[in-house]
Amino acid sequence: MRAKLCNCASFGGLGILCLWLAIGSLSIRPASAQPPPQPDLRQLDVEDLMNLKVTSVSKSEQSLSRTAAAIWVINQEDIRRSGATNVPDLLRMAPGVDVEQINANEWAISVRGFNLRYSNKVLVLIDGRTVYTPSFSGVFWEQIDMPLGDIDRIEVIRGPGASVWGANAVNGVISIFTKSAKETKGGQVTAGGGSQVYGFGQMRYGGAIGKNAAYRVWGKAVKTGDSGMPDGSAANDHWGRGHGGFRADWDATPRDAFSVQGELFGNETSQTRREDFIPTPFQRTFHEEQDAAGGNLVARWDHTLAGGSEASLQAYYDRYRRTDIGVPETLRTLDVDFQHHFTAGDRQDIVWGLGYRNSRSGVSPGYAVSFRPPFESASLFSGFLQDQIRVTDSFWLTLGFKLEHNRYTGLQAEPSIRMAWNRPGSRHAIWAAASKANRQPSRADTSIESTLQTLPLGPDLVQVVRMYGNPNILDEELRDYELGYRSDLTRSLSADVVTFLSFYRHLETIEQQAITIVPGSPTRIEVPLVYANKARAVTYGGEISLNWRPFSRLRIRPGYSYLHATLRRDADSRGLTEDVLSTGFPQNIFELRSSLNLPGRTEFDQALYYTARLPGGSIPGHARLDLRLGRRLGESTEVSIVGQNLLRNRTTEYGDSFNIIGAQVLRSIFGQVTWRF
């Protein structure tokens, strides 16, 4: 069966190209066609883009030119013309974001360093719902493979966002906003397939409920083939997914708006693993099947008070079950968040809020990992206050403060101060920020028990390396300083420049404890390891991005980021930090994206990404070239051909992760058809 799939896939790229050429002269215009997408934001003047509104920095809408943070917006048009099939590939567009694919269904994604499979210093949200797991710290990216056409925008904050979003928003915040149901009336069907993405399909339908309400329902399925192993064999890491959901929005009164949305998903994946987390000469590799399933329900009420201030109340329930590295895990999360936004006089814009979250995590013993106790319930209480003060017509000062109480380290404070300068009518803006942020411990930090290595030393003697959690582990802390400059240099060229200096302390290390001898047959020499906070770091660097429109049909966006990191261990530490430097801190990342509108409603898009070799790392510098050729047929149909990783037949982006054997990303060509009705 696999051979047949591969034969079809090899035909897919050429067949779809022929199909695209054959129907290029057709014009399909059903009378009930859904209106075309919103106007292309790439056609706006650069100074109009500077006035785009963002909400992730302060939880209230503000102009990008007056935002004192390094923020990048991936809009609907960026998404449509990206050719991406998943959220991680979209995030490659944001400067300073390091996206490395481990295998066909796993990614390591971070902002400003510390990149791992479970990158624990970046907070990810979808419509205000956090998808950062408290069990292992990090994000299961394969579990948020949402329909990209339903995304309104993605706001990426590079740098701390803890004074608003709380713990774990240390190096960045990735906030995904989906479209209102009012924007998705009518039907849409998308289907495609090719050499690596064997097949995918999505169907969405939305409509009105009376005069003031709207709804949509949707479903998505995708099947992705194996990536490659260094020896040329298949990595056995294929991925299949089904995903469906709904959303409804209702303007009940001129002052009250309600929304409710929910979704269910199921994943089936596979990967190649080592038997031990720490390699040995006797290690055995094997293929492991994985599965995950879950869903969530989110409800929100927005209310405008009599004085013009705004209040919102959001609650969500999230649940998933997954089996990974032989560990059956379940997580149930209930979250309630209240927020109030008002002005005080004509100079102060204030947002404050309260939140409560309860997470119940269950991890049954696996083949190498267990938690003690296996089930645990943890509550998080939080409150925040942010005051944006217009000191003069050109100068804004923003004071932020977040207070949280968690199960592991108690009460924590996360303040920030931000300043922005932008004269009325000026094309230039300067901003600066100083922030403190914490990374809270996870269950893995405090209560894990895991066998990392079993090494035979003789006929009746074996060495066992065991990992233990530390219930007294501390928060990892960051004190961060940023300076930024934005400018509309001309009506066709803008620049965004950011520099930063970051100081980390209480970074987590793995410390060896006293060796013990366990009698028996065989006799065991146990080497215990335990988590501790015995490292610190200093990082500095910057990001620069340009937005250039040399003429009306062409948009070019180059970007570059630099990162330098120095990690130190405490004098009494026996842990290691050098391995982190060789995997998680790329010094140089470069990107060049362009979008060209050709005659005949044809589009040509290009994206080139380059990540330099990591200092001391074994992964060489690697480049990725993605191309997309698309054409609109009337007002309702769009066809496109996409090529990904075109420079080489196979590329290693990350390497091994824990005991997962790192695979090579393969060259991929696929076609896609979207029909709106």
Each residue's pLDDT tens digit, 468-483: 999 999 999 999 999 9
Q: Supply the DSSP symbol for 660.
A: B
CA 161 – CA 170 distance, rounded (Å): 7
Average pLDDT over residues 588-592: 95
- Note the pLDDT of residue 616: 62
Cβ atoms of 569 and 534 closer than 8 Å: yes
Range scoring the smallest mean pLDDT among 165-169, 342-346, 658-662: 658-662
- Note the pLDDT of residue 661: 84
Q: Which helix (H) or strand (E) holds 88?
A: helix 87-91
Closest Cα to residue 673, out of 22, 87, 39?
A: 22
Q: Is the dihedral of CA 58, 59, 64, 70 positive or negative?
A: positive
- Note the pLDDT of residue 617: 66
Average pLDDT over residues 306-332: 91
Cα distances (Å, whole numbers) of residue 185 to 37, 80, 153, 570: 12, 18, 18, 59
Average pLDDT over residues 33-61: 58
Range scoring the smallest mean pLDDT among 213-217, 320-324, 354-358, 599-603: 320-324
Average pLDDT over residues 343-365: 92
CA 154 – CA 131 distance, rounded (Å): 15
The secondary structure of 344-412 as a DSSP string is ETTTEEEEEEEEEEEEEEEE---SSEEESSSEEEEEEEEEEEEEEEE-SSSEEEEEEEEEEEETTTEEE
Average pLDDT over residues 313-337: 92
| Residue with tokens 């020896």, as numbered in its chain | 231
Confidence of residue 19 (pLDDT cuts 50, 70, 90): very low
The two three-digit tokens of residue 262, written as one number: 């929910």
Edge-to-edge strand order for the sheet containing 172-178? Answer: 70-75, 151-158, 172-178, 122-126, 129-130
pLDDT, tens only, 593-622: 999 999 999 999 999 999 987 766 678 889
Closest Cα to residue 85, out of 105, 103, 115, 111?
A: 105
Number of helices (H) and strands (E) in the chain: give both, helices first: 7, 37
Cβ atoms of 523 and 461 closer than 8 Å: yes
Range scoring the smallest mean pLDDT among 33-42, 286-295, 369-378: 33-42
Mean of all residue pLDDT scores within the chain: 87
143/656: higher pLDDT = 143
The two three-digit tokens of residue 499, written as one number: 């520099």
11, pLDDT greater than 60: no
What residues have CB less than 8 Å from 281, skipping those under 6 apart?
A: none
Range scoring the smallest mean pLDDT among 29-33, 127-131, 177-181: 29-33
The two three-digit tokens of residue 272, written as one number: 């190649």
Backbone angles phi, psi at 87, to 5 degrees: -65, -45
283/605: higher pLDDT = 605
657/528: higher pLDDT = 528
Q: Is the dihedral of CA 118, 199, 154, 644 positive or negative?
A: positive
Range scoring the smallest mean pLDDT among 25-39, 75-89, 144-158, 434-448: 25-39
Percent of the chain with pLDDT over 70: 90
Cα distances (Å, whole numbers) of residue 346 to 120, 313, 400, 562: 40, 26, 19, 40
**Burial per residue of 411-425, b for 16 or more beta-carbon CB atoms within 10 angstroms, e otherwise:** ebebebebbbbbeee
The two three-digit tokens of residue 71, written as one number: 């923020």
- Note the pLDDT of residue 8: 38
Model confidence pTM above 0.85 = yes
The four Cα atoms 113, 115, 120, 124 give a dihedral, to 10 degrees, of 90
Confidence of residue 576 (pLDDT cuts 50, 70, 90): low
Closest Cα to residue 530, out of 486, 573, 490, 501?
A: 573
Backbone angles phi, psi at 17, to 5 degrees: -60, -45
Confidence of residue 135 (pLDDT cuts 50, 70, 90): confident
pLDDT, tens only, 87-134: 999 999 999 999 999 999 999 999 999 988 888 999 999 999 999 888
Average pLDDT over residues 25-39: 37
Range scoring the smallest mean pLDDT among 302-311, 377-386, 654-663: 654-663
CA 347 – CA 507 distance, rounded (Å): 40
**Burial per residue of 575-588, b for 16 or more beta-carbon CB atoms within 10 angstroms, e otherwise:** bebeebbebbbbbe
CA 344 – CA 422 distance, rounded (Å): 22
| Residue with tokens 């300043």, as numbered in its chain | 419
Confidence of residue 25 (pLDDT cuts 50, 70, 90): very low
317, pLDDT greater than 90: yes
Backbone angles phi, psi at 393, to 5 degrees: -65, -15
CA 292 – CA 82 distance, rounded (Å): 28
573, pLDDT greater than 90: no
| Residue with tokens 């380290």, as numbered in its chain | 409
522: preceding bond cis by omega (within 30 degrees): yes
Closest Cα to residue 592, out of 614, 628, 623?
A: 623
585, amino acid identity: F
369/594: higher pLDDT = 594
pLDDT, tens only, 376-416: 999 999 999 999 999 999 999 999 999 999 999 999 999 99
- SS3 state of residue 36: coil
**Domains, in order of start, for the chain:** 2-676 (2.40.170.20)
Closest Cα to residue 418, out of 384, 385, 389, 438?
A: 389
- Note the pLDDT of residue 502: 97
- Note the pLDDT of residue 15: 37
The two three-digit tokens of residue 42, written as one number: 């790439």
Q: Give the E-state strand segments of 410-522 in sequence order.
A: 410-421, 428-439, 448-458, 461-468, 476-490, 493-512, 516-518
554/37: higher pLDDT = 554
Cβ atoms of 52 and 658 closer than 8 Å: no
Confidence of residue 49 (pLDDT cuts 50, 70, 90): low
Through-space distance between the first and last CA atoms of the chain, rounded to whole angstroms: 35
- Note the pLDDT of residue 498: 97
